[in-house]
C-alpha cells in the first residue's frame, strides 16, 4: 500500500513516515522544495518518494502530484502552519490551513478515485478554546467544535492558530457532507505534541514549536526563571500511531479522535531532567520542585482513542527522557 503524507518535513509527519516505513508501506510525501525532499530521501530511503507542492492554499495545488501516483490509496493531510507569531494572521495562518484543507480534498476527489481513506491532522484546538483548556471544570469530548470565530482568529497569533484548525476541520467535514466523495474521512485531534524527533539528525537545528516545550528547558541557565508553560501533552510517536491506525481500522471511519496522554508543567519537566540527567543538575535552575500541582488543568478523556484504536499512551517521563537524550546527542 502507498500512503501520501502532505507536509512531510513536519515533526509529526516524520514520525508518521518512519512508522509507515517500518510497517512496510511506501510513502509519497509532499514538500515545499527539492532540497527538503532530498533531505527526507536521505533520511527515509527507497520506500520514500517526494513531490513538490510549493503553495498549499491554491486550487488544484495537489493535482499534479496526485496524477503521478495512481498507486496511492491513503492520504494523510498534516501540512498546516504551526505558529503563534505570524505577521499577517489571515494570510499566513488562516487561509493556508482552511483553503489548503478544502482544496486538497477537492483534488483527491477529482483526481484520485482510488483513494479510500483520508486522515486529517486536526487538533484539540478545533474542539476547545484557550479558556476551556484552562478551566478545571471543562470535560471536552469529540462531539463539539470550538466556538471561536473567524474574526477572533484575525485578532492575534494564538487565536489565529486556534481558528485555523477549527475552520479547517469544519471545512473538511463540510466537503465530505456536500460532495459525498469516494474516500472516508477521519481526524486525529492531538493536544501539545512532544517527544523526540523521528530522526536524531532532525534534533540538531531548531525543532518545531511544541517539541521545544521540553528542549527549551535544556537550554536554561542556573539563574533563569522557569517558564510558566502548563497544559496537556501527547508523544509524537503516539500521534503517529493514531494516524496509521485511523486508516487501518474500519472503526475509525468518519470519526474525530482526540489524542492526549496527560498533563504537565515546566517544573515537572525540570524535575524529570534533574532526576534522570544528574550531569545537568549544576547548570539548570531548580525552580520550585514542589510546584507540580496540575489540578487547575482540566482532565481530557482519551477513551475513544484507546477503545477505537487501542492506543496505550507513552508517559511524560519517557517523552522527556527521550527528547533530552536526543538533544544531548545532537549537541555533542
C-alpha to C-alpha distances, 32 to 2, 35, 74, nearest whole angstrom = 20, 9, 20
Nearer to ligand NDP, 124 or 226 (CB): 124
| Binding residue (CB under 6 A) for ligand NDP from 89, 99, 121, 215 | 121
Site string for ligand NDP, 230-249 (x = CB under 6 A): --------------------
Site for ligand NDP in 280-319 (CB under 6 A): none
Interaction between residue 5 and ligand NDP (CB under 6 A): no
Interaction between residue 193 and ligand NDP (CB under 6 A): yes
153 vs 190 by CB, closer to ligand NDP: 190
Neighbour count for residue 54 (Cβ, 10 Å): 10
Question: Which of 16, 17, 72, 79 lies at the binding interface for ligand NDP (CB under 6 A)?
Answer: 79
Comparing CB distances to ligand NDP, the nearer of 121 and 319 is 121
If one asks whether residue 82 binds ligand NDP (CB under 6 A), the answer comes out as yes
List the one residue from 69, 117, 165, 304 that touches ligand NDP (CB under 6 A): 165
DSSP β-ladder status, 2-6 and 72-77? parallel
Instruction: Name the helix (H) or strand (E) containing 3.
Output: strand 2-6
Residues 7-36, mask of contacts with ligand NDP (x by CB under 6 A): x-xxxxx------------------x---x
Number of helices (H) and strands (E) in the chain: give both, helices first.
Answer: 12, 10
Q: CA of 100: how far to CAs of 59, 148, 204, 231, in Å?
A: 8, 20, 29, 28
Minimum Å gap between C-beta 36 and ligand NDP is 6
| 140, 127 contact by CB (below 8 A) | yes
Q: Does 196 bind ligand NDP (CB under 6 A)?
A: no
Q: Would you count residue 103 as binding ligand NDP (CB under 6 A)?
A: no
Scored b (16 or more CB within 10 A) or e, 294-303 reads beebbebebe
Cβ 18 to ligand NDP, closest distance in Å? 13
Nearer to ligand NDP, 197 or 284 (CB): 197
Q: State the nearest-atom distance from the C-beta of 191 to ligand NDP, in Å.
A: 6
Q: Rounded CA gap, 3 and 245, in Å?
A: 13
Q: Are 258 and 140 in contact, with CB atoms under 8 Å apart? A: yes
Residue whose C-beta lies closest to ligand NDP: 10
Q: Would the CA dihedral through 249, 190, 232, 12 be positive or negative?
A: positive
* Cell representation of residue 252: 475509525
Is residue 186 a contact residue for ligand NDP (CB under 6 A)? no
Cα separation, 209 vs 255, in Å, equals: 27
Q: 190 in helix, strand or coil?
A: strand
Residue from the set 37, 81, 153, 231 that interacts with ligand NDP by CB under 6 A: 81
Contact residues for ligand NDP, defined by CB under 6 A:
7, 9-13, 32, 36, 56, 78-82, 96, 121, 123, 165, 190, 192-193, 208, 210
Amino acid at each position: 500500500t502507498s500512503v501520501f503524507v502532505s507536509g512531510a518535513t513536519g515533526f509529526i509527519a516524520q514520525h508518521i513516515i518512519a512508522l509507515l516505513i517500518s510497517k512496510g508501506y511506501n510513502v509519497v510525501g509532499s514538500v515545499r522544495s527539492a532540497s527538503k525532499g532530498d533531505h527526507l530521501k536521505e533520511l527515509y530511503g527507497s520506500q520514500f518518494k517526494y513531490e513538490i507542492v510549493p503553495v498549499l492554499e491554491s486550487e488544484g495545488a495537489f493535482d499534479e502530484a496526485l496524477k503521478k501516483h495512481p498507486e496511492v490509496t491513503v492520504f494523510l493531510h498534516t501540512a498546516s502552519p504551526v505558529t503563534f507569531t505570524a505577521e499577517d494572521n489571515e494570510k499566513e495562518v488562516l487561509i493556508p490551513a482552511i483553503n489548503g484543507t478544502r482544496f486538497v480534498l477537492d483534488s483527491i476527489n477529482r483526481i484520485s478515485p482510488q483513494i479510500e481513506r483520508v486522515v486529517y491532522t486536526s487538533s484539540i484546538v478545533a474542539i476547545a478554546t484557550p479558556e476551556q483548556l484552562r478551566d478545571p471544570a471543562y470535560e471536552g469530548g469529540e462531539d463539539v467544535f470550538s466556538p471561536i470565530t473567524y474574526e477572533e482568529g484575525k485578532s492575534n497569533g494564538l487565536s489565529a492558530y486556534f481558528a485555523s484548525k477549527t475552520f479547517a476541520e469544519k471545512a473538511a467535514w463540510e466537503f465530505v457532507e456536500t460532495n459525498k466523495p469516494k474516500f472516508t474521512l477521519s481526524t486525529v485531534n492531538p493536544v501539545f505534541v512532544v517527544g523526540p524527533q523521528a530522526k536524531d539528525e532532525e534534533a540538531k537545528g531548531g525543532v518545531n514549536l511544541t517539541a521545544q516545550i521540553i528542549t527549551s528547558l535544556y537550554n536554561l541557565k542556573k539563574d533563569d526563571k522557569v517558564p510558566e508553560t502548563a497544559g496537556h501533552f501527547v508523544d509524537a510517536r503516539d500521534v503517529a500511531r493514531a494516524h496509521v491506525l485511523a486508516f487501518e481500522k474500519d472503526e475509525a471511519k468518519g470519526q474525530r479522535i482526540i489524542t492526549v496522554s496527560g498533563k504537565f508543567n515546566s517544573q515537572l519537566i525540570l524535575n524529570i531532567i534533574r532526576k534522570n540527567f544528574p550531569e545537568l543538575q549544576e547548570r539548570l535552575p531548580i525552580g520550585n520542585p514542589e510546584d507540580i500541582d496540575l489540578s487547575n488543568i482540566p482532565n481530557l478523556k482519551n477513551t475513544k482513542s484507546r477503545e477505537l484504536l487501542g492506543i496505550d499512551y507513552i508517559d511524560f517521563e519517557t517523552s522527556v527522557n527521550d527528547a533530552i537524550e536526543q538533544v544531548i546527542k545532537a549537541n555533542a
